[in-house]
Structure 1
Amino acid sequence: MGRYIVSRLAQLVIVFFGVTLLIYLAVWALPGDPIRAMAGDRPLSESVINAMREEHNLNDPVLVQYLKYMGDLLTGDFGTDFNGRSVSDQMVQRWPVTLRLAVTAWLIEIVVGIGLGVIAALRRGRWPDYTILLFSIAVISIPIFVLGYTAQLVLGVNAGIFPVSGVADGWPASYILPAVILSAFGLASVARLVRASVLENLRADYVRAAVAKGMSRRRVVSVHVLRNSLIAAVTFLGVELGFLLGGTVVVEGIFNVPGVGQLLFRSLQTQEGAVVVGVATALVLIFLLANLVVDLLYGVLDPRIRHD
């Protein structure tokens, strides 16, 4: 187990540096001069432009810029934007909002998605199964921004059930609707995944043996079938948390939620490369750590799985 953890950590480090390098190259390869873009229509003197380019290492080759950035990052410094504001401070102010939104959406996926999947499997071929199947297909087929704007109009503007935008009403009122929209695709995927896994395990020999010994159906499903069926769901849900954190860009834009996704979107518009790279780096790190935790949970959920 110890060697496996060390091996996975080594892989994590390699992937982290590789992905962050690609992100850094992609951001700084964007056309245009970010210094001149920051000034807008106001002209800047060449001395000011050169001083700012020197301050932010823009005169160095891209690989040298990346190495300097990673050196600062190892000390916890995510750099500063072109206005001199710390990227770390900006993320610290916005991360609680994004985490609250993403975790709310994640819990919805866990509770509702697993529940719908189990119901569909236990009612296979009946109306609950067909209803859940149609629901999952419909949700997966509709783009998230269409769902978001439609829910905002119907449930927010017309019905007045949820706040239209912002987080002034706090949790859960301001977060439920955007969290439901954010979790919609993953929820449908979890439901279909759990349904297929439960059906497969219901046909397994150990289930027949448990029933033949007189064990109640409820106990067979809750103790044996569900535990084995959750292995595939845990894999998806662990990765999904990283996707939810990164996917808040669209939802936070629709509902005007002041989180990291909104910061990333605005930074792309204003070509604030340091902010974009900083936010993307944090998201990559969270995603990789979530995958590591999922791998380690395999042995907890299924004793047959051993990490040698």
Structure 2
Amino acid sequence: MTSAAGPDQDQDQDRGLAGTRVLVTGAAGFVGAHLSQRLLLEGAEVLGLDSFNSYYDPSLKRARVAALLDHPLCRVVETDLAEPGALAKAWSAFRPDHVVHLAAQAGVRYSLRDPRAYERANLAGFLEVLEAARAHPVSQLIYASSSSVYGASTRVPFREDDPVDRPSSLYAATKRANELMAHTYAHLFNLPLTGLRFFTVYGPWGRPDMAYWGFTEALHAGREIQVFNHGQVWRDYTYVDEIVEAIARLLRCPPQRADEPGRVVPEASHRLFNIGNDTPVAVGEMIDILERETGLQALRRNVPMQPGDVVRTWADVSALRAAVGFAPQVSLATGLQRFVQWYREYHRLSP
């Protein structure tokens, strides 16, 4: 699996992950597949776990991992993390040095339709991850949180130490619960944990339930695009390769000092980082970019905001920059150009 293009930043060849073992949950997911490929390029051995569920087309997930399966240092195992003991067995057999937990039930709107899917995957599944880390400690456990934890906060940009006690969806509530669970395990058992609040990740091999994918699909099919709040919805779009770059750098520097960046509560070995572009863009402008890149005219219909959605997300990434000397900066125009190129190649569409 390859992106249409890599990150813009210069690549440091001394990654420090060669020869290590990394367990990646959600390895067939959007970020998980990109990360697994990056780790293999750095010489790490990867065990990927994924349930290949049907939230969206599993064939896309299997296409993502096809290239990974050709690599001698990678195995991908189909399993349900929420099944008691399943993760612990794989973990103890592989004996990872690092774990990146990306598996989750995604989607804000879907949480209104099937709330129990979030209870199982995001709460029960994460408890199994924490218990496995407690039984078989690793150098660091990195897990995915979400910008959704900030809810409808109007104080921008969002900082890691902002109040996050008013989630706007069940999805957001489960992600905030993950952060609290992680803090508890870090405090009680001194586990080195790092939570990452992702801000609207996009790019090649993305998720079909995301707006940029749906809009691109609608443009090519000549279908109507529903534009929420007259396009006055802002998102901090973050290109996937830069998410992966941040994770790779954080893997090389586990929590150590009480005063280090990301320590919202210094007495626990638990850090939180925003990973975003620090540049909110209106959804209407995103559609404009897709029109330019596809050469197609959108059929727009304005509709009200949906339950669970928020008007604006905006990441303050100063803590991430201080910790690893990096913050995302690929523009939405550049990232969507790469996505449209990949989309047309994947679906065998004429340019």
Q: Smaller-chain TM-score range?
A: under 0.3
Quick one: higher RCO (CA 8 Å, sep 6+), 1 or 2?
1
Greater CA radius of gyration, 1 or 2? 1
Q: Which has the higher helix share?
A: 1
Would you tell me which structure has more strand in proportion to its own residues? Answer: 2
